[in-house]
Amino acid sequence: MLAYLVRRSAYGLFVVLGVIFFLFVLFFTVASPDDIARQAVGPKAMPEVIQQWKVNHGYHLPVWPGAGHLSDNLLVDHVQRMIAMDFGKSDADGVVIWERIRQGMWPSFFLTLPMFVIGMVASILTSLFVAFFRETYLDRWVVALSVLAMSIPTLLYIIFGQFIVGTLLRWFPVSGFDADPAVILRFLTLPVLIGVVSGLGSSVRFFRTVFLEEIHRDYVRTARAKGASEMRVMFYHVLRNSLVPILTQVVMEIPFLFTGSLLLEAGFGIPGLGAATFEAISANDFSTLRAMVFLGSLMFIVGQVLTDIGYTLVDPRIRLDA
């Protein structure tokens, strides 16, 4: 199994390199440093101004390695910095990107972690419940509701959530954030709630499908024949066997925890990483965007390797063949 771990991690590393290279191509060839400079200083600026901007931001080196500058070019520079996770400064306001990440990390976390945990628990419980009542009216209603819920875009959830709960009912503030433990719940409750509700539709549908597939399997019939109650069948047998797809789903959410929910943070004025990304978009801040994508990818790849290891723990068939 150790060999498997090593192989898996090695492949993960390869993918990281792939991402670095992809980002390079995207940011330095498809959009050339000249374009970026022009976007920052204005399309009609003088060549000297553009050149100066490029020097200030480190974009002045030749793009590809070539004769005379094998290590003194943007490609090598980019690769080195990405590997070292030195993201440099923001193109827009010169702030060191790691600073911004450090600041924004916590508000994002406070938002996405509860959202993730509550959402996961709520959808799994609902799906188990629905699987228990499969083929009854309850099941059909829940499925219909899920499809309905899935068809409402997140922005509408945010807008209407804010409008109804914030403006009409005045239960919670519509936006803003204060990390002071005394008041933090007031600001987080609404966004967390809306985040959970907007994701419930698709999660419940997904988990329901997974559970229903398991519940029709032969070993479930055996368990019932042994005298296991329906509850035990669902919570022990079915759940245990559904862990592989559940784990997969969980991993897909991991980068989300770090990059923060763009929509929610922008809509609720929470100063997390998502909001930082949002500002980067309007400010054409390529270096920040680059950093965010890279960070997200890193998280995801790490998550994937961890899940693959997780699979071996959860499913003995995979463990003993690996």
Count of residues near other proteins by CB under 8 A: 69
Whose Cβ is closer to other proteins: residue 69's or residue 221's? 221
Residue 40 contacts by C-beta under 8 Å, 6 or more apart in sequence?
Answer: 53, 91, 92, 284
Quick one: three-class SS letters along 195-230?
Answer: HHHHHHHHHHHHHHHHHHHHHCCHHHHHHHHCCCCH
Q: Which of 7, 208, 221, 193 is nearest to 118 (CA)?
A: 193
Whose Cβ is closer to other proteins: residue 89's or residue 290's? 290
Distance CA 320, CA 322 (A): 6
Pure H helices in 216-321: 218-225, 230-232, 239-259, 262-268, 273-282, 286-314, 316-321
Is residue 83 a contact point for other proteins (CB under 8 A)?
A: no
Is residue 320 a contact point for other proteins (CB under 8 A)?
A: yes
Whose Cβ is closer to other proteins: residue 115's or residue 262's? 262
Is residue 275 a contact point for other proteins (CB under 8 A)?
A: no
Is residue 301 a contact point for other proteins (CB under 8 A)?
A: yes
Using the rule CB under 8 A, give the single segment among 54-62, 79-87, 102-110, 281-289 that binds other proteins.
281-289
Beta bridge partners of residue 96, listed in sequence order:
89
From 124, 262, 275, 276, residue interacting with other proteins (rule: CB under 8 A):
262
Q: What is the DSSP letter of 260?
A: -
Q: Is 67 helix (H, G, I), strand (E, B) or coil?
A: coil
Give me the phi and psi of 89, to 5 degrees please.
-110, 160
Is residue 217 a contact point for other proteins (CB under 8 A)?
A: yes
Q: Is 86 helix (H, G, I), strand (E, B) or coil?
A: coil
Residues 114-143 that bind other proteins (CB under 8 A): 134-135
Q: How far is the CB of 274 from other proteins (least distance, A)?
A: 9
Whose Cβ is closer to other proteins: residue 184's or residue 306's? 306
Distance CA 180, CA 182 (A): 5
Whose Cβ is closer to other proteins: residue 121's or residue 159's? 159
From 113, 179, 185, 281, residue interacting with other proteins (rule: CB under 8 A):
281
Binding site for other proteins (CB under 8 A): 11, 14-15, 18-19, 22, 26-27, 30-31, 134-135, 147-148, 150-156, 159, 163, 167, 217-219, 221-230, 232, 237, 240-241, 243, 255-256, 259, 262-263, 266-267, 277-278, 281-282, 284, 286, 289-290, 292-293, 296-297, 300-301, 304, 314-317, 320
